[in-house]
Amino acid sequence: MSFKPRFAAGLILVLAICGAISSARAEPFKIVGFGDSLMAGFGLGPGEGFTDKLQAALRARGHDVTVANAGVSGDTSSGGLARLDWSVPDGTQLVVLELGANDMLRGIAPDITRKNLDEMLGKLKQRRIAVLLAGMRAAPNLGADYQKAFDAIFPDLAGKYDVALYPFFLDGVAGQPALQLEDGLHPNAGGVDLMVERILPTVEKAIAAVPGGS
């Protein structure tokens, strides 16, 4: 009789399928933090940067994730667009896109910043990578017209591409010396803690919206 060999073959197939499913589930959810010095962790020690602390906070809440740091200090939206393809590897499931602060500080025309971010969001959409767009706000000393044009970039593009939006990456930290480095621009370790605490619910919602996210 051939019952036993067929049973054994069937059992092996089932075990192989289960093993493949288990292996797939074992893969962590891959996030890339793509931005400038605020993402890179300028002036901070090992483990004190935004991506490290976001990863730790998500894992503490039961999420099996990795958060890669693709921040480059001094980067503008033009620089980000130029390096996007190789900075965000295949297999990435969510990008936290944080750029524009250096454009604003250098007085770059908001239309240029908008165009660059638009192209980045388009490229990520083509690759079917989810995005959480982290907004920035213009300094008041740049004038009301500049401020209005710059601040509108982020909600406008989030709506156009139907991506998650966190309105202001430095929410609660900007203008608070106790949470900033001596330069008055970058967060210190305490500032990063607050940034992660405030953005965490938005990141969790973005993860849950991705197929396979949890």
Query: Pick from 63, 69, 67: which is nearest to 44 by CA?
Result: 69
Amino acid of residue 142: L
Catalytic residue (one of 37, 63, 75, 103): 37
| Residue range 63-91, pLDDT digits in tens | 999 999 999 999 999 999 999 999 999 99
The verdict on whether 37 is a catalytic residue reads yes
**pLDDT at residue 18 greater than cutoff 70:** no
Catalytic residue (one of 103, 145, 186, 193): 186
119, 157 Cβ separation under 8 angstroms: no
Show the domains of the chain with their CATH numbers. Answer: 28-208 (3.40.50.1110)
The verdict on whether 64 is a catalytic residue reads no
| Residue range 88-101, pLDDT digits in tens | 999 999 999 999 99
Cα three-residue angle 8-24-197, rounded to 5 degrees: 150
The verdict on whether 63 is a catalytic residue reads no
Amino acid of residue 144: A
**pLDDT at residue 15 greater than cutoff 50:** no
| Residue range 140-149, pLDDT digits in tens | 999 999 999 9
pLDDT at 6: 55
26, 43 Cβ separation under 8 angstroms: no
To the nearest whole number, what is the mean pLDDT of the chain? Answer: 91
DSSP line for the chain = --HHHHHHHHHHHHHHHHHHHHHHHHSPEEEEEEESHHHHTTT--TT-SHHHHHHHHHHHTT--EEEEEEE-TT--HHHHHHHHHHHS-TT--EEEEE--HHHHHTT--HHHHHHHHHHHHHHHHHTT-EEEEE-----GGG-HHHHHHHHTHHHHHHHHHT-EEES-TTTTTTT-GGGB-TTSSSB-HHHHHHHHHHHHHHHHHHHHTSTT--
**pLDDT at residue 118 greater than cutoff 70:** yes
| Residue range 191-202, pLDDT digits in tens | 999 999 999 999
pLDDT at 145: 98
pLDDT at 21: 44
Q: In terms of pTM, does the model score above 0.85?
A: yes
**Encoding tokens for residue 86?**
């190789």
